Amino acid sequence: MYRRLQILVELVARVLAIVGGAVLLCIIVLTCVSIAGRALVTFDLGIGPIRGIYDMTEIGMAAAIFAFLPWAQFTEAHARVDLFQPMMPRTMDRVLDLLFNLAMLVVAAVGTWRLYLGMQDKLSFGETTLIAQIPVWQGYAASLVGAAGFILVAAFCVLRSGRRIAGLPD
């Protein structure tokens, strides 16, 4: 049962990371096209910069960052200070990992909750971006997908840490 859960959680984290990478690639392409269009304005070819590229970049970057969080949590790649780790007993190190994973679960849950409330607020007021007039709630909704994945992965990491303390295999 644990192995199936591990495979599922890894798949969710991996897919979200790949989607986040695809979003970043789209932002790169859009930015390059917009810069090329800006450079070609002087030739009067009817080509110009993409209107609202800053808005699209802002929304895309937020969604991509949230999409990367589950993979960073699953692979234990978040920044840590391991200054005293070599001097600690193995059990103490595993207990600290459990505490870290619990803290990340709390951060993921609170962050997702606040992101959801922010999305509801932007939706109810109909706020849009300044230039492209993109509804702001859509950026929040895109980020919520990664945030929900972050909660799932963080909860699994708490379970994985507990299993390590109990001496069970990963």
Query: Does the pTM exceed 0.85?
Result: yes
Alpha-carbon distance 49 to 31, whole Å? 9
Compute CA distances 108 → 73, 89, 169, whole Å: 10, 29, 26
Give backbone dihedrals phi and psi of 29, rounded to 5 degrees, phi first.
Answer: -65, -45
Residue 57 clears pLDDT 90, i.e. is over it? yes
Are the C-beta atoms of residues 63 and 17 closer than 8 Å to each other? no
- What are the residue boundaries of the structural domains of the chain, listed by start? 2-165
Q: How many CB atoms lie within 10 A of CB 8?
A: 12
Q: How many CB atoms lie within 10 A of CB 159?
A: 15
Calculate the CA 152 to chain-centre distance.
12
Q: Model confidence over 63-82: pLDDT tens digits?
A: 999 999 999 999 999 877 77
